[in-house]
Structure 1
Amino acid sequence: MKTQNNSLLNTLSKAEKTQLTTITSETLATTVKQTHAFTAADLWNIQRQKRSFVQRRFNAA
């Protein structure tokens, strides 16, 4: 299998190469809401709630 492809960049003109490699300015998206990172404490709470639900189910019967 061929690991290198030399003809990929030959099809682009010099103007297209410079357009693709120009640096664009970065903007900050201030309206985006931060998502909550899933932590070990969240996993612990899920497991703890699961245990209590199972105990309630068997005690109620």
Structure 2
Amino acid sequence: MNTQNTSLFTAISKAATKKLTTVVNETLAFNVIQTKAFTAADLWNIQRQRKSSLQRRHYA
């Protein structure tokens, strides 16, 4: 199996280079309400609730 690549870079046209290097104007969104980040405690709480619901299912 040939593991060496002799042509590391492929030829790119001037139009493709211009398209790749154009500057994109970004807008900043003000008045955005921050949402609470998902933490490890949230995951622990979901898993804890799932375990208790599985135990209740077997009692019925």
How many residues in Structure 1 have an aligned counterpart in Structure 2?
52
Partner of 1:15: none
TM-score (norm 2): 0.55
Residue 27 of structure 1 and its aligned partner are, at CA, apart by 7.0
TM-score (norm 1): 0.55
**Deviations 1:10-39 (Å, cap 9, x if unpaired)?**
87xxxxxxxx65xx7x87544211011111
Structure number with higher helix proportion: 1
Ranges in structure 1 where 5+ consecutive residues have no aligned partner: 12-19
Distance of 1:27 and 1:9 partners within structure 2: 25
Any residues of structure 2 matched to 1:1-61 within 5 Å, and which? 3-8=10-15, 29-59=29-59, 61=60
RMSD of aligned Cα (Å): 3.4
Distance of 1:10 and 1:57 partners within structure 2: 61
